[in-house]
Amino acid sequence: MPTMKTVIQRVSRAEVRVEGARVGAIERGVLALTAVERGDTMAEVTATARKLAGLRIFPGRTPMDQTLHEIGGGVLLISQFTIAGDLRKGRRPSFNGAEEPTRANELYEALASALRAEGLTVETGIFAAHMQVELVNDGPVTLILEVREGKVR
Protein backbone atom coordinates (compact mmCIF):
# COMPACT_ATOMS: atom_id res chain seq x y z
CA MET A 1 0.00 0.00 0.00
CA PRO A 2 1.46 3.42 -0.95
CA THR A 3 2.76 5.57 1.88
CA MET A 4 4.28 9.03 1.57
CA LYS A 5 7.24 8.92 3.93
CA THR A 6 9.07 11.93 5.35
CA VAL A 7 12.09 11.92 7.63
CA ILE A 8 11.93 15.12 9.68
CA GLN A 9 15.02 16.50 11.38
CA ARG A 10 14.90 19.54 13.65
CA VAL A 11 17.85 21.71 12.61
CA SER A 12 19.75 24.80 13.66
CA ARG A 13 20.60 25.23 9.99
CA ALA A 14 20.58 23.20 6.78
CA GLU A 15 21.55 23.70 3.17
CA VAL A 16 21.59 21.77 -0.08
CA ARG A 17 24.12 22.07 -2.90
CA VAL A 18 24.05 20.87 -6.49
CA GLU A 19 27.32 20.86 -8.43
CA GLY A 20 28.87 22.98 -5.68
CA ALA A 21 26.23 25.72 -5.84
CA ARG A 22 23.91 26.31 -2.90
CA VAL A 23 20.34 25.92 -4.17
CA GLY A 24 18.47 26.01 -0.85
CA ALA A 25 19.18 26.92 2.77
CA ILE A 26 17.37 27.59 6.03
CA GLU A 27 18.34 28.60 9.51
CA ARG A 28 16.28 27.19 12.40
CA GLY A 29 13.55 24.82 11.27
CA VAL A 30 13.25 21.36 9.76
CA LEU A 31 14.94 19.36 7.07
CA ALA A 32 12.24 17.19 5.47
CA LEU A 33 13.44 14.29 3.32
CA THR A 34 10.39 12.98 1.43
CA ALA A 35 9.73 9.86 -0.64
CA VAL A 36 6.73 9.58 -2.94
CA GLU A 37 5.56 6.00 -3.42
CA ARG A 38 3.53 4.52 -6.28
CA GLY A 39 -0.12 5.41 -5.82
CA ASP A 40 0.41 8.43 -3.54
CA THR A 41 -2.11 11.21 -4.18
CA MET A 42 -2.87 14.77 -3.19
CA ALA A 43 -4.48 13.37 -0.04
CA GLU A 44 -1.02 12.30 1.17
CA VAL A 45 0.45 15.68 0.19
CA THR A 46 -2.24 17.62 2.08
CA ALA A 47 -2.00 15.47 5.21
CA THR A 48 1.81 15.63 5.21
CA ALA A 49 1.84 19.42 4.89
CA ARG A 50 -0.80 19.89 7.58
CA LYS A 51 0.97 17.57 10.02
CA LEU A 52 4.40 19.08 9.43
CA ALA A 53 3.07 22.63 9.87
CA GLY A 54 1.40 21.74 13.16
CA LEU A 55 4.13 19.65 14.77
CA ARG A 56 5.19 20.92 18.18
CA ILE A 57 8.86 19.90 18.13
CA PHE A 58 10.64 23.07 19.23
CA PRO A 59 11.38 24.03 22.83
CA GLY A 60 9.24 26.56 24.63
CA ARG A 61 7.74 25.96 28.06
CA THR A 62 8.51 22.28 27.46
CA PRO A 63 11.11 20.59 25.21
CA MET A 64 8.48 19.90 22.52
CA ASP A 65 6.16 22.89 22.73
CA GLN A 66 6.33 25.16 19.69
CA THR A 67 5.57 24.85 15.97
CA LEU A 68 7.51 26.13 12.97
CA HIS A 69 5.14 29.12 12.85
CA GLU A 70 5.77 30.00 16.47
CA ILE A 71 9.56 29.99 16.11
CA GLY A 72 9.59 31.58 12.63
CA GLY A 73 11.32 28.49 11.27
CA GLY A 74 11.71 27.28 7.71
CA VAL A 75 11.52 23.98 5.87
CA LEU A 76 14.24 22.60 3.63
CA LEU A 77 12.33 20.04 1.53
CA ILE A 78 14.38 17.41 -0.28
CA SER A 79 12.99 14.69 -2.54
CA GLN A 80 14.64 11.42 -1.54
CA PHE A 81 13.24 8.37 -3.29
CA THR A 82 15.68 6.10 -1.43
CA ILE A 83 13.44 6.33 1.64
CA ALA A 84 11.01 4.17 -0.36
CA GLY A 85 13.70 1.48 -0.65
CA ASP A 86 12.82 -2.07 0.28
CA LEU A 87 15.61 -3.93 2.13
CA ARG A 88 13.84 -7.24 2.73
CA LYS A 89 15.59 -9.26 0.02
CA GLY A 90 19.25 -9.54 -0.86
CA ARG A 91 21.89 -6.92 -0.22
CA ARG A 92 20.80 -4.31 -2.74
CA PRO A 93 17.73 -2.13 -2.06
CA SER A 94 14.74 -2.39 -4.37
CA PHE A 95 13.06 0.84 -5.37
CA ASN A 96 10.04 -0.75 -7.06
CA GLY A 97 7.75 1.03 -4.59
CA ALA A 98 8.99 4.50 -5.55
CA GLU A 99 6.71 6.51 -7.82
CA GLU A 100 7.83 7.09 -11.41
CA PRO A 101 9.81 10.34 -11.71
CA THR A 102 7.29 12.56 -13.52
CA ARG A 103 4.48 11.86 -11.05
CA ALA A 104 6.86 11.92 -8.06
CA ASN A 105 8.08 15.38 -9.08
CA GLU A 106 4.49 16.62 -9.44
CA LEU A 107 3.66 15.49 -5.89
CA TYR A 108 6.98 16.80 -4.50
CA GLU A 109 6.27 20.23 -6.00
CA ALA A 110 2.70 20.03 -4.71
CA LEU A 111 4.05 19.33 -1.22
CA ALA A 112 6.30 22.40 -1.40
CA SER A 113 3.28 24.47 -2.47
CA ALA A 114 1.08 22.98 0.27
CA LEU A 115 3.68 23.81 2.91
CA ARG A 116 3.85 27.39 1.59
CA ALA A 117 0.03 27.54 1.70
CA GLU A 118 0.33 26.62 5.40
CA GLY A 119 2.31 29.88 5.77
CA LEU A 120 5.76 28.29 5.98
CA THR A 121 8.98 29.46 4.36
CA VAL A 122 10.12 26.59 2.12
CA GLU A 123 13.42 26.02 0.35
CA THR A 124 13.95 22.99 -1.87
CA GLY A 125 16.59 20.91 -3.53
CA ILE A 126 16.46 20.05 -7.23
CA PHE A 127 14.39 17.00 -8.05
CA ALA A 128 16.47 14.05 -9.33
CA ALA A 129 19.76 15.95 -9.01
CA HIS A 130 22.76 14.59 -7.14
CA MET A 131 22.68 16.75 -4.01
CA GLN A 132 24.87 17.33 -1.00
CA VAL A 133 22.81 18.12 2.08
CA GLU A 134 24.47 19.65 5.13
CA LEU A 135 22.67 20.08 8.42
CA VAL A 136 23.12 20.68 12.10
CA ASN A 137 20.58 18.42 13.79
CA ASP A 138 19.24 20.23 16.85
CA GLY A 139 18.68 17.92 19.80
CA PRO A 140 19.09 15.64 17.94
CA VAL A 141 15.44 15.35 16.99
CA THR A 142 14.56 13.03 14.10
CA LEU A 143 11.03 11.79 13.39
CA ILE A 144 9.45 9.66 10.69
CA LEU A 145 6.09 10.76 9.28
CA GLU A 146 4.11 8.21 7.26
CA VAL A 147 0.86 9.12 5.54
CA ARG A 148 -1.36 6.53 3.86
CA GLU A 149 -4.75 7.20 2.29
CA GLY A 150 -4.60 10.77 3.57
CA LYS A 151 -4.11 9.71 7.19
CA VAL A 152 -1.05 9.81 9.42
CA ARG A 153 -0.03 6.27 10.38
- Whether 82 is catalytic: yes
Q: How far apart are CA 123 and CA 40, in angstroms?
A: 22
Q: Exactly one of 82, 102, 121, 142 is catalytic; which is it?
A: 82
Q: How far apart are CA 111 and CA 109, in angstroms?
A: 5
- Whether 80 is catalytic: yes
- Whether 95 is catalytic: no
The CA R_g of the chain, rounded to the nearest whole Å, is 15
Q: Exactly one of 81, 102, 124, 127 is catalytic; which is it?
A: 81
Contact between 99 and 52 under an 8 Å Cβ cutoff? The reply is no
Number of H helices, E strands in the chain: 3, 7
Q: Exactly one of 6, 9, 34, 80 is catalytic; which is it?
A: 80
Residues facing 124 on adjacent strands: 77
Q: Catalytic residue positions?
A: 80-82
